[in-house]
Structure 1
């Protein structure tokens, strides 16, 4: 029997750094929400494990393959499946496509085998392969802390269905490790600030929280890609709207649809970006 799974990308409602850890990862605080930009995954039992995509990703480098091999190592069960991923989420755009694929497939496979891993064990497996993968098991807003692997799922219905306009630069990928390597202690925030943010997101509307959102990783990305920074500056002047980089880049977004002169201004950018109207899930 064939199964079809939907694996959706994400945006970050800002990202705050708290410091650098002894294991060289950074301590972060970031609210994450899935969006209606999704890969399609077809999976069926097979005589051997095979993972393929419409993108040029070698099987051994695919997070799904790595996760399934680890699942086998932990449970002793052989996940003999043929997995085909039709990629719609841009790679290297800060939208979590690979992590979403990993979480979606591993959650399915765990259910298929009768849940040999409890939720905590599954989350730990996902986190060991990709820090932000656990957030994709949340419905609604996921508050990610630690290096991104610790999650608190919030039920915030007012965040669902919010319109988002996403800009994905053509031909620009943003390696997460490179961006984090350029952080500076001046970018770090006190714990008291993120504790306050945790309470604010529970009370504010999405539009209100977006206005206070920050992302120093986005600033680093824009310093490395000044043409994208110029385009964001242009959009903010024409549209009278805030735009923010998602995660470590390369994508950026604004809340709401674009209208009037702002919509006309997109003609200048259409050759350089995929511009996608989405909703938060």
Structure 2
């Protein structure tokens, strides 16, 4: 069995405060996009997880392996599985690739082993793997609160093309949050306005209200991320923003031709460039 494991971008990402447990309280809108990895499931008498990408671990240190263990633990199934991850989503990029792979594994095993798990039950398992993982169980357009695990399904967003550009560097989400002072955030994204814009399918308002407070850390520390964002806007993207903690920057475009034009113009600035669209 083969399943697509799609990436996401953040239309908004707001940090409200640092919680007593050390995590940050967030309010953000995540949007699933068509760029995807391919997950191949094969019957096996043990758990095997393999990925050809040099920066993605195989075996038990991969989040997919942990997802298999949690599904088995939750359901009592005594079975093995071989999983091959064919990567297309950039790694350590703010696009949720690893989280998506884990969620897709839970979905895949639910189908393959005929477990009958509900979306909520799969999200409960996913929440044990990371804050972004539950989002990918249903995907689409969702509001995430808490540390990212409290999800509200939103109206399907209107079709927009997305230009993704990832500089040749990886960024630690943990380090970005450690360097963010939630008390000193001066400009918070207007997430409620974004929700209204999505409901009305108002592309202009969607593009106007994108925002990510983590840019205050990443753009300050990495000039190439800052340059990419500026270049996308200069070349005519309806809006540009960093996704997650970075370093990937995306540009939103109403038309495919404009997206392709921007992608070609960014060639000298980034080794990994993709044109995709909202799911």
Quote the Cα distance in structure 2 between the aligned partners of 1:240 and 1:77.
49
Q: Could you say which residue in structure 2 is the equivalent of 1:35?
A: 33
> How far off its partner does 1:154 sit?
1.9
Distance in 2 separating the partners of 1:179 and 1:267: 29
Q: 1:229 aligns with which of 220, 226, 245?
A: 226
Whole-Å separation in 1 of the counterparts to 2:237 and 2:36: 29
In structure 1, distance between residues paired with 2:162 and 2:245 = 18
Write the mapping of 1:42-191 to structure 2, written as runs, cut at 5 A: 42-56=40-54, 57-115=57-115, 117-156=117-156, 158-159=157-158, 161-169=159-167, 171-184=168-181, 185-187=183-185
The residue aligned with 2:10 is 12
Pair 1:203-2:200 in alignment: yes
Partners of 2:105 and 2:27 lie apart in 1 by 26
Unaligned runs of 5+ in 1: none
Q: Against the structure 1 CA distance between its residues 152 and 37, is the aligned structure 2 distance closer, same or farther, given a 3 Å change threshold?
A: same
Query: How far 1:224 sits from its partner (Å)?
Result: 1.5
Change in CA separation of 1:148 and 1:55 when aligned onto 2, cut-off 3 Å = same
Cα distance in 2 between the residues matched to 1:195 and 1:104: 29
Cα distance, 1:172 vs. partner?
0.7
Aligned counterpart, 2:214: 217
Deviations 1:90-110 (A, max 9, x none): 101111111111111111212
Q: Distance in 1 between matches of 2:278 and 2:251?
A: 12
Summarize the Cα distance change of 1:107–1:264 in structure 2 as closer, same or farther, 3 Å threshold. Answer: closer
Q: What RMSD in Å do the two structures reach over aligned CA positions?
A: 2.6
SS at match of 1:270: helix
> Are the structure 2 counterparts of residues 27 and 227 from structure 1 closer, same or farther at C-alpha, using a change threshold of 3 Å?
same
> For residues 189 and 150 of structure 1, do their structure 2 counterparts lie closer, same or farther at Cα, with a shift above 3 Å needed?
farther
Aligned counterpart, 1:275? 273
CA distance in 1, matches of 2:263, 2:113: 52
SS of the equivalent of 1:232 reads: helix
Q: For each residue in 1:193-229, what CA deviation from the matched residue of structure 2 results, as whole angstroms up to 9, or x when unmatched?
A: 6455544432352442221111011231111111221
Aligned counterparts of 2:262 and 2:77: Cα–Cα separation in 1: 55
Seen in structure 2, the aligned counterparts of structure 1 residues 13 and 50 have a Cα distance that, compared at 3 Å, is same
Paired with 2:269 and 2:77, the residues of 1 have a C-alpha distance of 48
Cα distance change, pair 34–240 in 1 and its aligned pair in 2 (3 A): closer
Q: Which runs of 4+ in 1 moved over 6 A?
A: 188-191
Distance across 1 between alignment mates of 2:26 and 2:88 = 27
Give 1:189 deviation, angstroms. Answer: 7.8
Gaps of 5+ in 2: none
Number of matched residues?
274
